[in-house]
């Protein structure tokens, strides 16, 4: 399921884009970039030029992403300090950020950093990324053990308000619009009714709905 979502996210990225990949599922996106696209992946812990996940046994303990997971770096990549990394993010030089979410709502509000009463590592760079990037893509499983993650209104503490542009799950591709959430693509293994049932707000169905 995660690979399916990551492959679809990869299709959203354009040649020449500078892209930040969040912890977890989004890191898989780097494995599915078409050969004819030159995507520059940035990591907020201080480098640019992330490559695919290394083969088992080839990991370099000094080359890890913001989540501490081993990654590779391209031949033209570069390392720098956190101040430079966040200057890139806050300066509007990131074309897209891909990150997971605990909740997203119809207004593009995002909650992805804290569940009250549970120990969490903190917000990390998410707050800066979703405001600084030109496009915000949420890549996640559609529900959490059957519970809605896409809602009428977020109930968890917000990371940012009104910043999400696109939601990609195993069920479909959903665009955040002024009118609400627009289902643009659907996984052929699901019906519209099943996607709607798994969603905690009313979806608008695109007249030209396509298969993922």
pLDDT of residue 15: 96
pLDDT mean by block of 10 residues, the chain; 212 residues: 96 96 89 92 92 90 89 92 94 96 97 80 83 97 96 96 98 98 98 98 98 96
What are the structure tokens assigned to 106, written together? 């119809």
What are the structure tokens assigned to 13, written together? 């990225």
**DSSP β-bridge partners for residue 148:** 143
What are the structure tokens assigned to 194, written together? 């099943």
End-to-end CA distance of the chain: 13
What are the structure tokens assigned to 43, written together? 């990591």
Select which of 12, 44, 170, 185 is catalytic.
44
**pTM for this entry:** 0.94
Give the 3-state secondary structure of residue 128: helix
Burial of 28 (0-12, 13-18, 19+ CB in 10 A): buried
Instruction: Yes or no: say if 154 and 201 are a contact pair by the CB < 8 Å rule.
Output: no
59 among known catalytic residues: no
pLDDT of residue 164: 98
Closest CA to 20 of 113, 96, 130, 103: 96
pLDDT of residue 121: 65
Work out whether strand 110-111 and strand 103-105 pair parallel, antiparallel, or are unpaired: antiparallel
pLDDT of residue 175: 98
pLDDT of residue 103: 97
User: Residue 122: which region, alpha, beta or left (left: phi > 0; alpha: psi -120 to 50)?
Assistant: left
């Amino acid at each position: 399921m995660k690979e399916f979502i990551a492959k679809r996210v990869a299709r959203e990225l354009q040649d020449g884009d500078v892209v930040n990949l969040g912890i977890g599922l989004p890191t898989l996106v780097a494995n599915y970039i078409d050969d004819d696209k030159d995507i520059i992946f940035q990591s907020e812990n201080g480098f640019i030029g992330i490559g695919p996940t290394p083969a088992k046994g080839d990991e370099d303990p000094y080359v890890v992403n913001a989540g501490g997971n081993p990654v590779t770096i391209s031949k033209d990549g570069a390392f720098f300090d956190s101040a430079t990394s966040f200057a890139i993010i806050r300066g509007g030089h990131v074309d897209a950020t891909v990150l997971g979410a605990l909740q997203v709502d119809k207004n593009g509000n995002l909650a992805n950093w804290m569940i009250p009463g549970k120990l969490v590592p903190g917000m990390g760079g998410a707050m800066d990324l979703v405001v600084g990037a030109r496009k915000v893509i949420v890549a996640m499983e559609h529900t959490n053990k059957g519970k809605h993650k896409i809602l009428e209104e977020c109930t968890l503490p917000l990371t940012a308000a009104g910043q999400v542009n696109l939601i990609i799950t195993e069920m479909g591709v959903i665009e955040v619009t002024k009118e609400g959430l627009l289902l643009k693509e659907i996984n052929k293994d699901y019906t519209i009714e099943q996607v709607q049932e798994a969603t905690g707000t009313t979806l608008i169905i695109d007249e030209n709905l396509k298969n993922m």
